[in-house]
């Protein structure tokens, strides 16, 4: 297991979360769809009780990861007041894209997110790559990679794009297929200017205050792909270890920054399952009413979960600029972590 990284010491320039955007395709697919599937043996009440999900979205045949990602990216750039030409770096991530079985763009069988997004967006001056192998924790990892590149290269504006479309790799003979949904989310990270500490003792102009990352390959087999290219998820293993991992990450990042849960305005977690998320919040000390959840109407959208929920609650006015947020996420690998950050 990896050891916690040292917190940022203030030497690199801070970054600012300048804009966020989201996109969910089509009309909601409600739980009655799964009630009609032969042999699944679930109803609306069962799905809500075991997952917290009432509906989710699925992409249509003419809309894949890149197409959704571009829509989220444009919304994030609009929120940041920036033009496509301002983007220096694009970092893509996805948990559900697969070569050939579930490709990321129309007319090509590869799984990359960043390059087809760059092409469709017209951000031809940006360099691009994807962060893979961390699945649902993709936004967390992609953001810290973007932060590092903003600090060490000439890039001043980074666009993180998360996109998911799980329908083609779900096995609808298993009940966990009712959990997942499609969508995209994007965030604009910009290099900021250091102006010292604020009243809370944290860098006053930094959007990403601190982050902890962990990985443990002993749980690599908790996820797999079967002979039909369908996702295999061993939920029993995950339910045993995931709660402690998320709680520890959340508590650790707060403790080493001298923060109490009372100082956190909102917790925005990976939108996994309410039976995991509510007890996690209780143990960290975050009141449930300060959890930002779009899981009930969007489903578990993997890497889109954290930034997608953040964007929805930013754009409806719930999250205000300058508020402190705690993000926690875990993905395949297992890879997990937590970060303290601000929107603007």
Which positions are annotated as active-site residues? 136, 270, 300
3-class DSSP string for 244-304 = HHHHHHHHHHHHCCCCCHHHCCEEEECCCCHHHHHHHHHHHCCCHHHECCCHHHHCECHHH
Beta bridge partners of 208: 341
The answer to whether the CB of 274 falls within 8 A of the CB of 300 is: no
The answer to whether the CB of 181 falls within 8 A of the CB of 300 is: yes
Closest to 161 measured CA to CA, from 133, 135, 137, 138: 138
Element (H, E) at 121: helix 114-121
Beta bridge partners of 158: 89, 189
- Say how many Å lie between the first and final Cα of the chain, rounded: 33
Beta bridge partners of 162: 93, 185
Phi, psi of 84 (to 5 degrees): -55, -35
Element (H, E) at 20: strand 15-23
C-alpha to C-alpha distance for 286 and 141, rounded to whole angstroms? 23
C-alpha to C-alpha distance for 206 and 202, rounded to whole angstroms? 8
C-alpha to C-alpha distance for 42 and 236, rounded to whole angstroms? 19
């Amino acid at each position: 297991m990896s050891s916690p990284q040292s917190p940022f010491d203030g030497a690199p320039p801070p970054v600012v979360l300048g804009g966020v955007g989201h996109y969910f395709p089509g009309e909601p697919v409600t739980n009655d769809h799964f009630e009609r599937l032969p042999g699944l043996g679930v109803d609306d009440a069962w799905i809500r009780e075991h997952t917290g999900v009432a509906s989710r979205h699925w992409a249509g045949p003419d809309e894949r990861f890149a197409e959704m990602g571009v829509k989220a990216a444009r919304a994030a750039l609009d929120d940041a007041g920036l033009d496509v030409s301002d983007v220096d770096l694009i970092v893509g991530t996805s948990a559900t894209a697969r070569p050939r079985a579930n490709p990321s763009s129309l007319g090509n069988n590869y799984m990359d997110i960043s390059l087809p997004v760059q092409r469709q967006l017209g951000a031809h001056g940006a360099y691009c790559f994807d962060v893979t192998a961390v699945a649902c924790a993709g936004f967390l990892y992609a953001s810290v990679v973007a932060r590092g590149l903003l600090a060490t290269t000439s890039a001043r504006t980074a666009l993180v794009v998360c996109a998911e479309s799980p329908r083609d790799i779900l096995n609808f003979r298993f009940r966990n297929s009712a959990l997942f949904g499609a969508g995209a989310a994007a965030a604009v990270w910009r290099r900021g200017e250091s102006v010292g500490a604020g009243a809370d003792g944290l860098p006053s102009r930094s959007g990403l205050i601190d982050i902890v990352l962990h990985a443990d390959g002993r749980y690599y087999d908790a996820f797999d792909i079967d002979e039909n290219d369908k996702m295999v998820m061993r939920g029993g293993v995950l339910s045993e270890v995931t709660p402690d991992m998320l709680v520890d990450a959340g508590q650790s990042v707060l403790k080493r920054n001298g923060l109490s849960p009372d100082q956190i305005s909102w917790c925005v977690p990976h939108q996994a399952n309410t039976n995991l998320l509510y007890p996690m919040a209780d143990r960290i000390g975050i009141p449930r009413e300060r959890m930002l959840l779009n899981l009930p109407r969007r489903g578990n959208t993997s890497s889109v979960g954290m930034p997608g929920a953040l964007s929805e609650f930013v754009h409806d006015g719930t999250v205000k600029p300058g508020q402190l947020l705690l993000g926690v996420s875990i993905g395949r690998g297992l890879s997990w972590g937590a970060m303290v950050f601000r929107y603007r």
